[in-house]
Amino acid sequence: MSTSAIKISANGGPVTAKVSCPRFPQTIVGVIWRYNPDETFDFRCGTFQTDSQIVSLGTVTDTDGKLFLIEGAVLNQNDNPPTPYEIVVEIFQDGNLLNTEVPTDGGKGNIGDKDIAFVYHFTLNT
């Protein structure tokens, strides 16, 4: 599992994440966790779902050098045949887009009658 390195501005404002499935009408849910550089737990940033996609990650002081873990799931609707989904994670600072990525672990595929987990790791550094 790879970890994306995202650069933030030392003089910038708050950092937020948006987790969505913009191309397909799928239901998603999940949580974002923040860890210290030594990988010890720091903070539960918040939860996201289809109709509430933005989570505050914190200020520059809170986030610089920290590791983040997004754990989510695409919830099945018993689609037969299975239908496509694609998760998009966007990181913003001061409302400006810094990074857009599809998680490599479960972020894209087809969903039928079983929920599908996705995971995304990233760091924020000035």
Block means of pLDDT (10 residues each) for the chain, 126 residues, are: 93 97 96 97 97 97 98 97 98 98 97 98 98
Could you give the domains of the chain? Answer: 3-125 (2.60.60)
Residue with the two structure tokens 């940033």: 45
Residue 1 has what pLDDT?
A: 65
Count the alpha carbons within 13 Å of 107 in the hemisphere toward its beta carbon. Answer: 18
d(CA 65, CA 121): 13
How many CB atoms sit inside 10 A of residue 71's CB?
13
